[in-house]
Each structure stands twice: as structure tokens, then as C-alpha cells.
Structure 1
Amino acid sequence: MSAPREPFFPADRSIRADGAPLQIRHLGLVDYRESWELQAELAKQRAAGEIGDQVLILEHPSVYTAGKRTQPSDRPTNGQPVVDVDRGGRITWHGEGQLVAYPIIKLADPVDVVDYVRRLEEALIAAVRGVGVDKAGRIDGRSGVWVPASDTRRDRKIAALGIRITRGVTMHGLALNCSNTLEFYEHIVACGIDDADVTTLSLELGREVTVAEMTTPLLDALDAALAGRLKVADHTFAEAPDPTKIPGVPAPQG
């Protein structure tokens, strides 16, 4: 997902339309559909100027969610249901032990989707490196945050992104694997990628890393990245095909 141009805003400028502090809402364990409905309502209110920028922090009970680019071959082989959702990307899994953040933020005009995604990634990289996974970075052509291959282990994704922007307001967001199981990834082609793996902070560090431990570091880094205090840097260590670009399939709109 290389930027085709320079960002619309200088690296030290906020990408948010509003400079007021982010409102953080810690929601605990929330059903996916319930959180999706809440996001839609909050995004509508934010677009109308009825509320300020918010970040929802939560975990989901075990669930597969399929973005707009999901292919039939991506879907689970274990008979588990899938929620088809209006974000970008392909299929993924959410579950307990995974830190999920949904920013409901009005972006400054002109809206810069690439810069927004890059800033989310930068926040995740800062948080992941800060806890000890110091080689985490980007793979050019693929969103999210990755740990590079080592010894007999392939490149592996430690955090995933999937967003939607409507009327300049963001929905959906990011998921950081802290201490969750990886069992459910074995039954899908996660994010449409079959030449790499998935990992967690706990696996990488050899100790339990909880959602509670990572919440404040991630929120601090997210706030700094959106505000421009944490500048997007080049943390790319590899390149690979973009799984969202499927030959013969036009890109989705909206």
C-alpha cells in the first residue's frame, strides 16, 4: 500500500478536523454486530457535529468478519458463521485477547485515506516496538504491522487494519494480537494472504502480554500519530503482492 503521492498535510500537522481531546470509551467484551451498530450511530452523530472524536476500546467474542474484498476461497472451513461488513480488506478473525480500537474521527479536509492508514500503522508500530518487538514494521503492498521472517518462521502479521470513511468520518479500525489464540486463523485465508502467518505479542515475547497492558501505550501512540507528534517513518522491511487487488475484480467504492 505504498503512498502514490506525498500526504496532503505536513507530517507534524494533525489529520483530525477537531483539536479537542479524544474521548476514550472502554467497552470491555462486546458482540461484533452490537459494536458495528454503535459505530454507525456514533459516526452519524460525528458527521452532524453532535459529538466529538471518539475511540472505542474493546474485545470481541470469537467471530469472523469479511470485508468487501473477501473471496469465496478465503472463507472458514470450520463451519463458523461470518459477519459480512462494510470495511475494506478481506476476511479476518476477532476474539478475546485481541485489543480492538475503533476511532470515530472526523478527518480534516481534504480527506487523506492513505495518510490516515499510515498513521494508524505508525501508532501500532510504536506500541509494538515499545513492548519489545523491536523489528516490527511494514511490508510494502500489505496493510497492517508485521514481524519479519526469522530462522524457520515466515513473515507474520501482528496487527490488522480495516477502515471505512463516510462523510469524512472514520469507522472500524485496528486489531492488535496480544494473547489471543491463533486457532481460528487456521480455517481461513486471513486477509487473503497465504504466504505469511499470524502471530501475537505473547508468542513473540515469550510471556503473556494482555490487552490491559497494551491499551494505554496504543492509545498514547494513536493520539500522537493522529496529531502529528508521532511522525510516519519508513519501517518497511519487505514488499509483497497486495491481496486487495484481485485481477478482474474492480475496486469497491465507499
Structure 2
Amino acid sequence: MTSTTTGPAPTGPAPTGPATPDSPVPGLVVTRLGLVDYTEALAAQRALHARVADGEAPDTVLLLEHPSVYTAGKRTNSWDRPVDGTPVVDVDRGGRITWHGPGQIVGYPIITLPEVRRDRPADVVAHVRRVEQVLIDVCAEFGLATERVDGRSGVWVREDARGPDRKVAAIGIRVARGVGLHGFALNCDADLAAFDKIVPCGISDAGVTSLSRELGRQVTVAEALPVVERHLPTLLG
């Protein structure tokens, strides 16, 4: 099935609708949701996850933005959190604390892992590597070289004359019943000052960046969305 849809967060039947001609994604339903409150999106992806795991909905990737919010994964320490007491949403994904907000593409791949489709155990590490590869390839299409960094989640611009290692995309994943939950966040033209209140992903000796900052021009979510969609088939292994 190939479909790209737009509309409200899916809380009932799986999202379907007319394909967007410039962004077909074979094997996936890709739904652009626009700006969605984090807790609403979390409820929607959990409901969709149950339907995908039960075989009642196809593999789906939700692409959206959130209003400004901090979320904390299971490994978050107290000293990672905002020192001013800013509220944080605790969630059941991997990783530590991060920020979501306008100017950032958030992607939730609610998909059956390829290993499970082949009657093998779910390989969470391999799933994370595929998500990383999607983001590395997206950045490369924009002309930005990024890498994985051993022992650190996400996708990174390596240390250079402009500064130390800096993260352009964060990843936090959970897999249940062989189906993924949560996903990635790619900074396009987000206000990076929001990261100053926290220790992003628990990493204190590196920075955070965006496509816009690295490329020296504005890269909007609207410009980056079709590029992300082109590389999503990598998730299917």
C-alpha cells in the first residue's frame, strides 16, 4: 500500500486517503499530521500500535510537529531535567530527555520490524540503525555529512572548526509485540535555545544543531518532509 495522507491524529481506523504524487512510499502509509499536542500524539500512536500489532492496520509512519515540550525516556536522570522546574512528560521510550517543538520533524514509525515479518525475533538495535540511516541519508541529500557516534544515540555532525560534535537528529525507540513505537526528531529550523534548559539525551560534552544552522540557510519542515518520505523505505529492511 502506498499512501500519504494529511489530517488529525489517527485515533480510530488506520489513516487512509489520496496519495501525494511527489512522495510515494511503497509498503507504508505515511500520514502528515501537522502540529499536534504531544500527549494527543502519544495516545494516537499507542492506539495505532495496537491495531498494527493485531494485524488490523498497515505499517504506518506518522510525521508531525509538536508544540514546545520536553519528554524524558526511561534512562533520564534527575540532573538532566530543566533546572527551573519546567514540566516534563515521562514516556516509555528508550533514551533520556529531549525537546520537541516547531521547526522539528518528528517521525513515529509504527511498523512491524522486518525480522518479525520473517518469523525471527525483533532486533531493536537493527531497527534503531535503520532509523539512523534514514536520517543520515536525508542529511546527505541536503549536502550535510552526518554520522553515527559509538555509544551515543542519534545522528551527528562531527567535530570541526565550527565546534564539537553536535546532534542534528534524536532517536528514542520502543518495540512491543514486534512493532515499533516512538521514533525520531530532525531539527530543521527549530529554536535550539530550548535545549539550553536540559542536558539533551544526557550528553553534556556535545551540542545540538539543525539543518538550517549547518547549511547556513533556512530549511523548513515543509521543505524537508518530502525528503524524509523518500528515504522511509529503508525502515522496511
TM-score bucket of the superposed structures, by smaller chain: 0.7 to 0.9
The residue aligned with 1:112 is 123
Q: Using the alignment, how far apart are the partners of 2:185 and 2:193 within structure 1?
A: 16
The residue aligned with 2:76 is 70
The sequence identity of aligned pairs, in percent, is: 57
Asked if 1:178 corresponds to 2:188, the answer is yes
Q: Alpha-carbon deviation of 1:78?
A: 3.1
How do 1:22-101 residues align onto structure 2 when only pairs under 5 Å count?
A: 22-101=28-107
Gaps of 5+ in 1: 1-19, 229-254
Q: Using the alignment, how far apart are the partners of 1:206 and 1:151 within structure 2?
A: 15
Asked if 1:198 corresponds to 2:208, the answer is yes
Q: Using the alignment, how far apart are the partners of 2:143 and 2:221 within structure 1?
A: 15
The residue aligned with 1:226 is 235
CA contact (8 A) 1:156 1:196 kept: yes
CA contact (8 A) 1:96 1:180 kept: yes
Counterpart of 1:175 in 2: which secondary structure? strand
Counterpart of 2:83 in 1: which secondary structure? coil
Q: Alpha-carbon deviation of 1:21?
A: 1.9
Give, as a single letter, the amino acid of the residue that structure 2 aligns with 1:39.
Q
Runs of 4+ with deviation above 3 angstroms: none
When normalised by structure 1's length, the TM-score is 0.80
Counterpart of 2:160 in 1: which secondary structure? coil
Number of residue pairs aligned between Structure 1 and Structure 2: 208
Aligned-residue Cα RMSD (Å) equals: 1.3
CA contact (8 A) 1:124 1:222 kept: no
When normalised by structure 2's length, the TM-score is 0.85
Q: Using the alignment, how far apart are the partners of 2:236 and 2:202 within structure 1?
A: 32
How do 1:236-247 residues align onto structure 2 when only pairs under 5 Å count?
A: none
Give, as a single letter, the amino acid of the residue that structure 2 aligns with 1:204.
E
Task: Specify which structure has the bigger relative contact order, considering alpha-carbon pairs within 8 angstroms and separated by 6 or more residues.
Answer: 1
Q: Using the alignment, how far apart are the partners of 1:55 and 1:182 within structure 2?
A: 25
